[in-house]
A and B are shown apart, each in its own frame.
Chain A
């Protein structure tokens, strides 16, 4: 390629609801309960980090409602991570909680970094959170189906059920939020050069 190969078709400022495959790579299939919980912990911590980045970015851009929402999501995911640490009686992060490989670039519960917009509204943020919770639920469901270890299957199904609860929770929040107007991304003082 000579540089023009990346000139993919234009896409207006839409927020994709990233919803790709979510399962673990075959060589990352947890063999023990501890390995499963380590994966779950990594998922939660990745989500905390990304939501915190989003919250910081939105605060910088004075989008306070969305910043607060992302901050809330980060704190919820942090609580889940803390619960895993408590359940497993881990006092510090397990060594295996280093970089993990997933079928997708990010871990299943993490929203892609480019899926946000400085003018996005709480509705958009909740849609992203909903997609993330659904990916997490599907991840544990697929894992439960694939594993041959009974303890791993049982725990994976429990985690799937928890993620389903989160899906319903986010849905209930979404029901209280008005969908954005069609022109939500219109900026009277846009960063783009104008005639």
Chain B
């Protein structure tokens, strides 16, 4: 987070656009949108100093529903675009939003390297374990035994574990949230935005159309029983052995973020490419 506190207090409404979301009624993404606007009001960065970057998918529509600057890019490339934006405009607070397919499959490689580079971004993934926009194909986080017309008997594939991958790859802040807990999610988002470096939040966000059983998630989620740790190995052990419904901040690291200030205005794209090649 770079900028702040205007004289007139901002409220969540100041961060909402006039466009009405076209998500299915009951979709968890409505509450995530509400949490984002609440969190931005808490950190008090004016909308013109925030950019929301996304890829493709239901959740990636979110930039249009905020009054911040936005970039609705191509599938899986939100982190690449956001990284470029942040190094070019370090003064902006950059949020990156998307779904599990966009982030872990099409954009999986970018996810690893965004964690490793530790650029000061806040990445929130609305994870519903399914490709909703394209009518319900299994995603990287889908359970191996999820039976559907498009995956009879389930894929049989082990689910991707984004939180552990993020830890192993160097993310500086790792949390899990639940869309049905909009105030708790807003709290976590505010912390993530304020924390330097790459912050990653997995938000369990039910898809009530293709995964109606996810309505029951609200009966399963619970607060993380322990305080966040700064030891990635300990955090990873906890996450690997929890039930997947542990919500809260799980890891707060102190890695030095990617030094944005060394990028000078005269810097060319070739200079940037060379810098990132290290």
Contact = CB atoms under 8 A, between A and B. Distances in A.
Please report whether the interface of chain A is mostly helix, strand, loop or mixed according to DSSP.
Answer: loop
Interface residues of A, number: 42
B143 A6 contact: yes
B25 A118 contact: yes
A182 interface: no
A114 B208 contact: yes
A148 interface: no
Nearest to B135: A193
A191 B215 contact: no
Contact of A193 (B34, B146, B150, B241): B150
B180 A112 contact: yes
B38 A99 contact: yes
Q: DSSP majority for the B interface? A: loop
A13 B179 CA distance: 19
B197 interface: no
A42 B215 CA distance: 25
A35 interface: no
B158 A116 contact: no
Given A6-B143, A113-B180, A193-B135, A54 B212 contact: no
A46 B180 CA distance: 13
Nearest to A3: B159
Contacts of B243: 1, 5
A184 interface: no
B144 A4 contact: yes
B182 A116 contact: no
Contacts of A8: 213-214, 216-217, 220
Contacts of A1: 240-244
Contacts of B212: 10-13
Interface of A: 1-13, 16, 49, 53-54, 56-61, 63, 99-101, 105-106, 112-118, 120, 191-195
30 contacts: A3-B141, A3-B244, A4-B143, A5-B244, A7-B143, A8-B216, A9-B216, A11-B216, A13-B208, A16-B215, A57-B24, A59-B20, A101-B183, A105-B180, A105-B181, A105-B218, A113-B180, A113-B182, A114-B27, A114-B208, A114-B218, A115-B26, A115-B215, A117-B26, A192-B149, A192-B209, A193-B136, A193-B148, A193-B149, A194-B149
